[in-house]
């Protein structure tokens, strides 16, 4: 339970380990308790690695720039697009640092120019270009180095939709700046 944080998975791992132990050659086992504990631990860690691989494969197969292209042509009348957008924003939250995310969303989805980004985030245009390029590579390559809370996704989704449909990006910019500030506070 401490490793998996899921009662059902923990029970399955224990049951699988026990079934393997029943059919195992017990002559080479010197300490049954230690053997079972180590086996359960190894199986739990293998299970976590398998889940992580499946999660990354799922995230990597989702093409975010295509969603933004659909978004620019849509009026949010179609529910599937909203679900896809929500998933895309969750992936962007998961894969990018807050400043990368802010530059990426504003540039890729809303068409902000680097001059505008420079003024908004008080960063040089070259730095904004590099942030955008780095973010684009992370999204395309599927690398995931940062863990960002996904609980902010609903607020971000609403402000993102408002920016796209009404052309008013002020709420989205406020959300992105708050996310950056929160990230900086957590580092210190």
pLDDT digits (tens, 9 = 90+) for 105-132: 888 888 889 888 888 888 899 999 999 9
Which one is predicted more confidently, 53 or 76?
A: 53
Which one is predicted more confidently, 186 or 176?
A: 176
- pLDDT bin (cut points 50, 70, 90) of residue 58 is low
Question: In angstroms, what CA-CA distances link 131 with 121, 124, 128, 165?
Answer: 12, 11, 5, 26
pLDDT value of position 41: 92
For all residues of the chain together, what is the average pLDDT?
77
Which one is predicted more confidently, 31 or 73?
A: 31
User: Rounded to an integer, what is the distance from CA 27 to the centroid of its chain?
Assistant: 47
Could you give the CA distance from residue 11 to residue 121 in angstroms, rounded to a whole number? 49
Tell me the residue length of the chain.
Answer: 188
Highest mean pLDDT of the ranges 91-105, 141-155, 171-185: 91-105
- pLDDT bin (cut points 50, 70, 90) of residue 188 is low
pLDDT value of position 145: 45
Which one is predicted more confidently, 154 or 25?
A: 25
pLDDT value of position 165: 67
pLDDT value of position 129: 92
Question: Is 80 exceeded by the pLDDT of residue 17?
Answer: yes
Instruction: Tell which residue, 184, 135, 171, 176, has the closest CA to residue 152.
Output: 176
Mean of pLDDT values over 32-40: 90
pLDDT value of position 67: 59
């Amino acid at each position: 339970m401490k490793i998996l944080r899921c009662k059902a998975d923990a029970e399955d791992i224990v049951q699988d380990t026990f079934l393997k132990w029943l059919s195992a050659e017990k002559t080479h086992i010197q300490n049954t308790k230690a053997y079972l504990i180590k086996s359960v631990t190894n199986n739990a860690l293998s299970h976590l690695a398998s889940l992580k691989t499946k999660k990354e494969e799922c995230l990597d197969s989702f093409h975010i720039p295509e969603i933004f292209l659909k978004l620019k042509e849509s009026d949010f009348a179609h529910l599937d697009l909203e679900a896809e957008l929500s998933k895309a924003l969750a992936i962007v939250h998961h894969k990018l640092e807050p400043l990368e995310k802010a530059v990426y969303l504003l540039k890729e989805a809303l068409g902000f120019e680097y001059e505008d980004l420079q003024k908004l985030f008080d960063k040089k245009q070259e730095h904004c270009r590099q942030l955008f390029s780095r973010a684009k590579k992370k999204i395309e390559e599927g690398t995931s180095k940062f863990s960002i809370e996904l609980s902010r996704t609903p607020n971000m989704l609403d402000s993102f939709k408002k920016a796209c449909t009404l052309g008013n990006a002020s709420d989205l910019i406020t959300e992105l700046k708050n996310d950056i500030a929160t990230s900086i506070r957590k580092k210190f």
